[in-house]
Amino acid sequence: MSRARFEELLERMLGLNAASIGTSAIDRAVDERRRACALDDDGYWEFLQRSREEMQELIETVVVPETWFFRDPEAFAAMARIVNELWLRSDPSRLLRILSLPCSTGEEPYTMAMALLDAGVPAHRFRIDAIDVSLRALAKARLGVYGRNSFRSRDLSFRDRHFENAEGGYRLLDTVRAPVHFGHGNIMDPTFMTGAESYDVIFCRNLLIYFDPPTQNRAVAVLGRLLGKGGVLFVGHSETGLMPPNGFASAKIPMAFAFRRAEAQPAPLTRLPSPPLPRAAAGRPPAPVKKAAPVFAPKIVAAPEKPRQHSIDDLRRIADSGDVEAAARGCEAFMRDNGPSADIFLLLGLIRDAGGDAIAAANYYRKALYLDPANPEALGHLALLLRRQGDHAGARLLDERMRRQGGRRNG
């Protein structure tokens, strides 16, 4: 019996595009839940239509909760700078409203709180709302106890400042927990956060990669509705290309993947360097906006086409989902078929960097720069890597080169 109907249901409910995580991952999730309910495919399908609880169980089984503290740290540093340098000074009485969507198991919103507290922003000056569709992830987030997997960044000094030892890992201190408020929500729900006050900062990272283009456009429209005037939206590095076609312009903060509404007159980001954001201009043309389907609507469309061969964007998604070895193998296969390119070397560099192999990562970044000397992502990541290794002079040279190349690329 066809599994396409389950894929379609998950796409309507969650926005999840089967091709983004692979149909076999959806198959496995359906099998797991079907067996837990002791039903065959048809019986389980019928049950799913009737039971919201089971729908939630299936969602829990299929979502990818991959996250860690200070993931893409430049975004948090940029947020803290913007908050400190611009907003708090210009309006000292205002409470800053920040949204983390999706927040998964809490590492992202708690990192926001740590970054702001470390930058000297008092806890009573900001509020962080953190939303996810997974109740399981939210329960873990509220518990605030984290194991090794949540601490993947090189610099772990934040752990000494903001955690205490606990059974099974490290417990966040109340100072970090207090400003963060968790809530359950689904960005695909037509009533999602209607009537909510707008936000000064929104982080929506590593969610849009799981959607197909029309769904991505719908989700970005929701983010646009929630973002206040002059607000800043941070997305994941492989999601930047979606923003310009949806009316957002780069905030020009290197490696932070930050955007403002294109029509909004950007406030001057004093003291922030401003080379172009990597890959932000390579947007696709706007896809037609799909009308929101009712939550338990009957099936209406055919199963999506499955990709035959991985593109570089597919491989980035696979790497982002945590399966870095599969992504690395995919990169090698891609190079065999298509030859080397700066983009594929860059991705291999990112994969090796994330795995802690600094030597291999640096080699790949250099290969990317050999083929594309102005590649801002390769320049930025290599500079970060050198800085982490204590080679500040080498990093400064790359920063300088990035500024020069950035100017040239901007014309």
- Residue 402 belongs to what H/E stretch? helix 392-409
Q: How many chain residues bind ligand SAM (CB under 6 A)? A: 22
Judged by CB under 6 A, the residue of 7, 57, 132, 377 near ligand SAM is 132
Cα separation of 274 and 403, whole Å? 8
Closest to ligand SAM by CB, 205 vs 367, is: 205
Query: Phi/psi at 313 (nearest 5 deg)?
Result: -65, -40
Note whether 134 binds ligand SAM by CB under 6 A: yes
Note whether 201 binds ligand SAM by CB under 6 A: no
Cα separation of 338 and 29, whole Å? 33
Decide the pairing of beta strands 180-184 and 126-132.
Answer: parallel
Note whether 129 binds ligand SAM by CB under 6 A: no
Judged by CB under 6 A, the residue of 8, 11, 57, 108 near ligand SAM is 108
- Residue 30 belongs to what H/E stretch? helix 23-36
Gyration radius (Cα) of the chain, Å: 21
Retrieve residue 1's tokens. Answer: 């019996």
Query: Phi/psi at 74 (nearest 5 deg)?
Result: -60, -30
Note whether 7 binds ligand SAM by CB under 6 A: no
Closest to ligand SAM by CB, 187 vs 346, is: 187
Note whether 319 binds ligand SAM by CB under 6 A: no
CB atoms within 10 A of CB 92: 8
Minimum distance of ligand SAM from residue 132's CB (angstroms): 5
Cis peptide before 298 (omega within 30 of 0): no
User: In which region does residue 248 sit, left (phi positive, over 0), alpha (psi from -120 to 50) or beta (all else)?
Assistant: beta
3-state secondary structure of 271: coil
Note whether 15 binds ligand SAM by CB under 6 A: yes
Closest to ligand SAM by CB, 61 vs 405, is: 61
What's the DSSP call for residue 85?
Answer: I
Note whether 64 binds ligand SAM by CB under 6 A: yes
Judged by CB under 6 A, the residue of 58, 78, 112, 133 near ligand SAM is 133
Minimum distance of ligand SAM from residue 141's CB (angstroms): 9
Note whether 215 binds ligand SAM by CB under 6 A: no
Minimum distance of ligand SAM from residue 101's CB (angstroms): 7
Note whether 9 binds ligand SAM by CB under 6 A: no
Question: Which residues contact ligand SAM (rule: CB under 6 A)?
Answer: 14-15, 63-67, 71, 102, 104, 108, 132-134, 137, 186-188, 205-207, 236
